[in-house]
Every structure is written in structure tokens, then in C-alpha cells.
Structure 1
Amino acid sequence: MKISEQIAFVSGANRGLGRELTLELLSRGAKVYAGARNPEAIDIPGVIPVKLDITNPQEVAAAAKVAKDITLLINNAGSSTGASLLDGDLDQIHLEFNTHFFGTLSMVRTFAPILEKNGGGSILNILSALSWVSSGTVGAYTAAKAAEWALTNDLRLNLYPHNVRVAGLHVGYMETDMTSGLEVPKSNPADIAKIAIDGIESDSLEIVADDSSRMIQRSLAGGIAVLYPQLS
């Protein structure tokens, strides 16, 4: 896929990784629709702001009517409530799943027919290293991201015959508002955006963007004993 020839839609484009993905696409010559709950917050010249809450089916449908020429969909919008599965607020747990799983699914179900009608294209779902492993905290986020990974695998199988490629980006902590309170090593989201768009341009189906994600990916074959040695 040649990025300079693409028409992209990025959700959650007003900050963090979404903003950097939007900037990277623009720098490579793509036309970009930038979705955000508050489109007035998008301050990137050259994009087309679109009001979008991916948990609102009416706003998803309205966005599709605006961006009916797209060839690339990036599902970046996310949430992180910090809720525990055992004793966290159920509304916050529902929010995590409504965003990462049902919201992403809503976007794909709405935009995949548009991609197919436009001759095919690509979808990139922004996943996480926590799609593969739990840290024992932020259980709602981890479970929702694991569900989004399963969703991505199923969709890539079902959309491939329709000339729509579905890729997933796995990445650990990044320097964003969402991780501002964490004292851990973090990647620069601008660097991750470059890696992500390089992956899309090379038609990769799985983009593993940093060392922590690569380490966890290698550990999956070892099973529980390797992933959770504290349980042994």
C-alpha cells in the first residue's frame, strides 16, 4: 500500500498516538479524516475533523457518510479507567469493553463495506502488549485489549477475501496523557507512529513496535510458567 495514495480515517486523532499517526500520514501525502469526540480540539492543518465517539452508533454512521472515500481505517480511540476486574466499578469495566471491543467492532462493521466498495484497503487496530499478558492491575483494560486482539484475528480472516487487510499494532507504554502518572520506560509516540505506518505500507498484518512487546510475544510459547513465574 502506497501511503501517498491513501485516504485515511484516524479515530482518537486529537492527542497522543492518534495525533502522531495523523501527522505521519499527512507527512507522507495521505488525505486524512481526523475523528475525535471534540473535533474543535484537532489543531492539525490539512486534516478533515470529524465528530466521533466510537461508542455512539449514530456518530459512527454519520462519520461514515462524511468519509465515504477512505481506503485506510486506523482504530486508535481508546480509554483507560484503571478499573480492577474484581472490585472495580462495573460502569468503568463496561466502558473499557464498549470502547476497545464494541467500539472498534462498530467502526469495522460500518467502514469495511466502504473499503471494499472503494477497491479494498487496510484496517489497523491499535492493540497493546497487554493484549497478550496481564500485569495483575488495570484488569478491565487488559481484558478489553485481549478481546480486541481476538476480534482483530477473526476480522482479518473474514475480510481478507474482500480485499481488506486487517493489521494489529502491539506496543507497550508510550509518553501520552494516559500514562503520565506511571514511572516506567516509555516510547515516543512519534516513533511508534512511524513504525505503524511503515508496517501498513509494507502490508504487515502484525506490527510489534517495541522491545517490551517483542519480549512478551516470545514468552507466549512458554505458557503460564514463563508469563507468570510468580504462580510457580
Structure 2
Amino acid sequence: MKIEGAVALVTGANRGIGSAFVGELLARGAGTVYAGARNADSVRVSDPRIIPVTLDVTDPGHVSAVAEKLSDVSLVVNNAGVLTRDFPLQASAQEARRQIETNYIALISMTSAFAPVLARNGGGAFVNMLSVVSFVGAPWMTTYSASKAAAWNYTNAARSQLAGQGTEVLGVHAGYVDTDMSAGVDADKIDPRSVARAGLDALEAGQPEVLIDDFTRNIKAGLSNDQNLIYPQVARDFAAMAATG
């Protein structure tokens, strides 16, 4: 998809990866970028092409109303998400529901509401911000991993159906990114601007999926033999984490 002149909507656009996508879309000549956030006042407007939009992705009725209003959108970046660090035996059902609703079910609502809009505007594209834990269950972020795995499967399924209306669907997978969400994680982190650049490069190249970093690429490469190539290291990392409290 060509970004120059496009009208984009970015969810979770007030910080982190969402803010980086807004900046990169503008740099590539997007005509308008609707910056969605629960509180539109939290969006920093640095360019007249940025239009803050109040958007609660967990409210399907509200999402549908916003889709009716933003009838000129040709590109949707589904970035909004939440993360709770938890372990399998300590995970709460309440937090699991919150993450599933935001990271997965909201993706269904956004896709269902905006697919007709994109079709009317020539097809366009969805860019879904996923994660390396779409591919691997990390026991230190159990319910987040599960929600992202569901989002990955939905992304792949939606791609098949939306191809019929000329709409592209890109899945963006990355390891730890240097944002507020990962502030408590002691690991090498990716600059969110690098994520946005690589994601939009892949979109303009017509790719269905992009793996941002070597860690993510290595994890996906091991899926065919994950119990021998991935999970022994996950178990060692978890044991080390438990030993240090």
C-alpha cells in the first residue's frame, strides 16, 4: 500500500509505538492521521495533519460510531494494548479478561467496523501490532502472551477474507520495545521508531508479516520444533527469574 496521501487511524496513539507510527506516517506523506486514544487530550499535536480522536477500542458500539464518523480512512494501525506481568498459577481471571478484551477482542471490533470503510476507499490496509509472544507462551507474562497469540491467529484469518475486498493485513511482531509498557523489564529493547519504520516499510512492500528483530525471527524459526528449540530456554529463564525473586 502507498502511504503518501493516505488517511490513517492509529489506536493507542498518545505514546510509545502508537506515537512512533503517527510520526512515521507523517514523514511518509500521509494526508491525515487520526490519533486515537481513550482521552483525545492526551495526544500531542505537532503537525496540522494530526487529528486527535477519542476512541475506546474495548467498546464495540463506540468503535462502530467512530468508524461511521471517520469515513475517509484508508489505513488502520491497530496498536492499542495493555500488559500485565503474571505467572500461570497466579494469573487473575479479571486481568486475563482485560487483556483479551483490549489486545484481541478489540481487534475484531476494529476490523469489523473499519473493513467496510476501507473497502469504500479502495481497499487500504490494517496494520496489527503483535509481539514475539504471539509465537511463544512467556510464563512471566502469561495472559498477555495468550491474548497476542489469539490476535496473531485472528490477523491471519482476517487476511484471507479481506483479500477479497482488496484490503491488505500486515502483522508486526517485535520483542521488547522501549515504551512505558515494558518499563519494568530488564532486557535489550527496540526503539519504537524502528518498529514503526520497519512496519511501514513492510506495508509499502506488500508483505503480510514483518519480524522486527533477530530475537523474534529466531523464535518464529523454532516453531516447528518449539518444545526442543524454544521452551527449554524459556524454562531456564523462568527458573532464573524465580531464583532471584
Shorter-chain TM-score range: over 0.9
More displaced 10-residue stretch of structure 1: 84-93 or 55-64: 84-93
What pairs up with 1:82-231 in 2 under 5 angstroms? 82-229=85-232
Query: Is the 8 Å Cα contact of residues 83 and 92 (structure 1) preserved in structure 2?
Result: no
Q: CA–CA distance in 1 between the matches of 2:162 and 2:59?
A: 23
Cross-structure match for 1:21: 21
Gaps of 5+ in 1: none
What secondary structure does 2:162 align onto?
Answer: helix
Q: CA–CA distance in 2 between the matches of 1:24 and 1:223?
A: 35
Cα distance, 1:226 vs. partner?
Answer: 1.1
Cross-structure match for 2:35: 34
Q: Look up the equivalent residue of 2:126 and give its one-letter code.
A: I
RMSD over aligned Cα atoms = 1.4
Cα distance, 1:53 vs. partner?
Answer: 1.1
CA displacement, residues 80-115 of structure 1 (integer Å, 9 cap, x when unaligned): 022334322211100010011101110000000110
CA displacement, residues 169-195 of structure 1 (integer Å, 9 cap, x when unaligned): 000001100111111000000111111
Query: Is the 8 Å Cα contact of residues 83 and 93 (structure 1) preserved in structure 2?
Result: no
TM-score, length-scaled by structure 2: 0.91
CA displacement, residues 147-170 of structure 1 (integer Å, 9 cap, x when unaligned): 000000100011101111111000
Cross-structure match for 2:238: none
CA displacement, residues 41-74 of structure 1 (integer Å, 9 cap, x when unaligned): 1112321111011001232122212211111111
What secondary structure does 2:4 align onto?
Answer: helix
Q: CA–CA distance in 2 between the matches of 1:188 and 1:75?
A: 18
What secondary structure does 2:224 align onto?
Answer: helix
What pairs up with 1:44-83 in 2 under 5 angstroms? 44=45, 45-46=47-48, 47-83=50-86
Q: Look up the equivalent residue of 2:112 and give its one-letter code.
A: R
Query: Is the 8 Å Cα contact of residues 119 and 163 (structure 1) preserved in structure 2?
Result: yes
Query: Is the 8 Å Cα contact of residues 51 and 59 (structure 1) preserved in structure 2?
Result: no
Gaps of 5+ in 2: 236-245
Query: Is the 8 Å Cα contact of residues 11 and 18 (structure 1) preserved in structure 2?
Result: yes
Query: Is the 8 Å Cα contact of residues 79 and 128 (structure 2) preserved in structure 1?
Result: yes
Identity of aligned residues (%): 39
Q: Look up the equivalent residue of 2:229 and give its one-letter code.
A: V
Q: CA–CA distance in 1 between the matches of 2:70 and 2:87?
A: 37
More displaced 10-residue stretch of structure 1: 41-50 or 73-82: 41-50
Q: CA–CA distance in 2 between the matches of 1:199 and 1:193?
A: 10
More displaced 10-residue stretch of structure 1: 155-164 or 214-223: 214-223
* Over 6 Å off, 4+ runs: none
What secondary structure does 1:207 align onto?
Answer: strand
Cα distance, 1:220 vs. partner?
Answer: 1.1
Query: Is the 8 Å Cα contact of residues 88 and 139 (structure 2) preserved in structure 1?
Result: no
Q: CA–CA distance in 1 between the matches of 2:192 and 2:216?
A: 15
Q: CA–CA distance in 2 between the matches of 1:145 and 1:86?
A: 19
Question: How many pairs align?
Answer: 232
Q: CA–CA distance in 2 between the matches of 1:121 and 1:35?
A: 18
Q: CA–CA distance in 2 between the matches of 1:123 and 1:114?
A: 11
Cα distance, 1:215 vs. partner?
Answer: 0.9
